[in-house]
Structure 1
Amino acid sequence: MEERPAGIQDSDVRDALRAWGIDPVTLEYAPVGFGDYHWTATDTRDGRWFVTVADLTHKSWYGDGTEAAFRGLRDAMDTAVALRDAERSGRPDFVVAPVRTAEGESVRELGAGHAVSVFPLMPGTAGHFGETLTPHDRGLVLDLLAELHRTAPPASARVLPPEFATRPQLDRALGELDNPWDGFGPYAEPARHLLADHAAALRHRLDEFDRRAGELRAAGAPLVVTHGEPHPGNLLRAGERRLLLDWDTVGLAVPERDLWLVADGPDDLARYEESTGRKPDPSALALYRLRWALNDIAEFLTLLGTPHGPTPDAQQSWKALAQTVRSLAAEA
């Protein structure tokens, strides 16, 4: 995020790092990514760290309220740590997991409504969301996902149903289009007009989502450990190695939850099938592609339907909302 989190100062982050035994010599805010807040730190022994502060009010997929969000984030970080530890017994090294505190915690609460986790700052070249992977990169990532999907699930891994937690916000927004969205900020009314122009198409896509989700549940396909967001923005290139970052959406689901973000055509899907013996389901791929877009719309509407100013993050949310709604409606 370009904006810093409200109520969290550098001194708060510096104090929190003591739980990890880290005494920062340098601590700098890093305006990268979208959703969480990040700092880089160098300690007295030249150790380099990537510090993430999560806003628990924006982790609705874990459940209602900040306590449920913290428990869900803790389970996700514990799962990432378990996967990294399994790698040390001989599996390929691709999980960038948090380091534990002296008390064994993978994440700690930070003030009211936030949580902090600490990662080693890994050397390599980071990708960015929306980047097009080369065929070579896609192959490496598909092989990585095949390895992940064959890994025994840690006890902390949660089962993640296809339904998205932000569905009520989207349904509510579609039901409130006749009244002005005044008093929230400069992008609230444009968001309402955008939604009103494409309401019929969005309701049609929601019906499609419900149908495909019902079909997936009825099929009873086996679940595997999935990352949830293996897009280029969560990839780090280190020579021929590809590392996966940002494990807060890890959980048990069908492999298509990951594959739709990476596979580009039948050759990629065939590569995955050859590696795992499991043939990807086209309907499940379409389901998770649709789910991503609908969830994005709901999250952007939630942000723009609350008090905001003409900030870079609000502007980015508005642009992404407009692009996603129009794209989804055009496919209806």
Structure 2
Amino acid sequence: MRERPRGDGAPGDTTVLRALRAWDVDAARVEYAPVGFGDHHWTATAPDGERWFVTVSDLSDKPHCGPGTASARDGLSRAMDTARALRERAGLGFVVAPLPTRDGRTLLPLGERYAVALFPHLPGATGEFGRETDPARRMRTVEILAALHRAPVPGRAPVLPSDPAGRAGLERSLGDLGVPWTGGPLAEPARELLAGTPVARRLAEYDLRARDMRRRGVAPVLTHGEPHPGNVLWQGTRPLLLDWDTTAVAPPERDLWQVALEPGELDRWTELTGRAPDAGALALYELRWDLEDIASCVAFFRSPHAPGADADLAREGFARAAGRLATG
């Protein structure tokens, strides 16, 4: 998130510094890092210059990890444990996994609503959210996804639910289109925008596509969930995958639709895995992405919010997803 967490119990610099003691990290300072959308981030620096990347998650806003804060905490813990197992046991060096606390945990609660994970601070540069425009980078991303999809599934790996994250709240909002929305200055514009989108029809289409995929028996693997360029850190020609909170057992097309732009670009994945992507599943997970984007933005605008960088990002994302649903 571009803005610090707000409200009662929201963690600040002092809370983060204190939490780092669970990793035996005695940081000289922490600085808020205004990057990404969804989680809050800090960089921590030791007196000798060693650095770490701190991620603080608002469990009330992690529907893909579970409904409610307790369920989301468990789901996020399982995801972090999965990433650690992929790196340490499966030997997948491209996985940027959380560091364990002194007692072996990958996730530390910060009160009831928040949780913190610690990562190494790595050199390199990420791309921009969207699809990678460099063909060589797309191919390398396809190759590491093939390695992920061939890996044994760790025992604590989450399983992707059949419904898009946030669907229940989105359907409630569709039922509330006839009454004014509150929450902040963008609540009413969001209601008007949602009223002009074919979300209900696309949800029904999603259900039909999902049933069709299940009939075809598309086999699941361990997926990352969001392998877009913003989550790929490049160290020269070496890609590293960041942000594993969305990892789950699901058909591989959940990842693949995000990386290919040209016909035949997934042939390399077929060569490495021995199976061909399912065209229907690719379309299903692209649709699911837009529905989850819409659900997340609607939840944001119906909750207390103020004008600012995060609201601007949510508004832009809402408009993009609404446009794709209207033209898909």
Normalising by structure 2, report the TM-score.
0.96
Instruction: Tell me the equivalent position of 2:296.
Output: 299
**For residues 13-69 of structure 1, what are the alpha-carbon distances to aligned partners after superposition, in whole Å with 9 as ceiling and x for unaligned?**
000000000001231110000000001111234321000000000111222211111
Instruction: Tell me the equivalent position of 1:329.
Output: 326
The question of 1:81 aligning with 2:81 is answered no
Equivalent of 2:274, from 268, 277, 285?
277
**For residues 302-324 of structure 1, what are the alpha-carbon distances to aligned partners after superposition, in whole Å with 9 as ceiling and x for unaligned?**
11012211122112212221221
The question of 1:34 aligning with 2:34 is answered no
Q: Identity of counterpart residues, as a percentage? A: 50
Query: How does 1:5-84 map onto structure 2 within 5 Å?
Result: 5-6=5-6, 7-84=10-87
CA distance in 2, matches of 1:235, 1:34: 15
Could you list the runs of 5+ residues in structure 1 that have no partner in the other structure?
none
Tell me if the contact between 1:133 and 1:232 (Cα under 8 Å) persists in the aligned partners: no
The question of 1:189 aligning with 2:192 is answered no
Tell me if the contact between 2:32 and 2:43 (Cα under 8 Å) persists in the aligned partners: yes
Tell me if the contact between 1:76 and 1:157 (Cα under 8 Å) persists in the aligned partners: yes
Query: How does 1:100-179 map onto structure 2 within 5 Å?
Result: 100-130=100-130, 132-179=132-179
CA distance in 1, matches of 2:128, 2:173: 30
Tell me if the contact between 1:127 and 1:232 (Cα under 8 Å) persists in the aligned partners: yes
After the TM superposition, list the runs of 4 or more consecutive aligned residues in structure 1 that deviate by more than 4 angstroms: none
CA distance in 2, matches of 1:176, 1:146: 43
Normalising by structure 1, report the TM-score.
0.95
**For residues 222-241 of structure 1, what are the alpha-carbon distances to aligned partners after superposition, in whole Å with 9 as ceiling and x for unaligned?**
21110000000100000121
CA distance in 1, matches of 2:31, 2:94: 26
Could you list the runs of 5+ residues in structure 2 that have no partner in the other structure?
none
CA distance in 2, matches of 1:273, 1:231: 20
**For residues 221-267 of structure 1, what are the alpha-carbon distances to aligned partners after superposition, in whole Å with 9 as ceiling and x for unaligned?**
22111000000010000012100000001111110000000012321
CA distance in 2, matches of 1:4, 1:305: 19
SS of residue matched to 2:28: strand
Tell me if the contact between 1:162 and 1:288 (Cα under 8 Å) persists in the aligned partners: no
Report the count of equivalent residues.
325
CA distance in 2, matches of 1:311, 1:148: 37
Between stretches 249-258 and 166-175, larger displacement belongs to: 166-175
CA distance in 2, matches of 1:196, 1:150: 42
CA distance in 1, matches of 2:70, 2:201: 34
Shift of 1:131: 5.4
**For residues 166-223 of structure 1, what are the alpha-carbon distances to aligned partners after superposition, in whole Å with 9 as ceiling and x for unaligned?**
1111111111111111x3211111111112222xx22221111010111122222221
CA distance in 2, matches of 1:118, 1:262: 27
Shift of 1:112: 2.8
Instruction: Tell me the equivalent position of 1:4.
Output: 4
The question of 1:238 aligning with 2:241 is answered no
Instruction: Tell me the equivalent position of 2:94.
Output: 94
Instruction: Tell me the equivalent position of 1:259.
Output: 256
The question of 1:287 aligning with 2:290 is answered no
CA distance in 1, matches of 2:130, 2:216: 32
CA distance in 2, matches of 1:44, 1:84: 28
The question of 1:214 aligning with 2:184 is answered no
CA distance in 2, matches of 1:99, 1:323: 35
SS of residue matched to 2:295: helix
Q: Which amino acid aligns with 1:124?
A: G
Q: Which amino acid aligns with 2:234?
A: R
Between stretches 254-263 and 183-192, larger displacement belongs to: 183-192
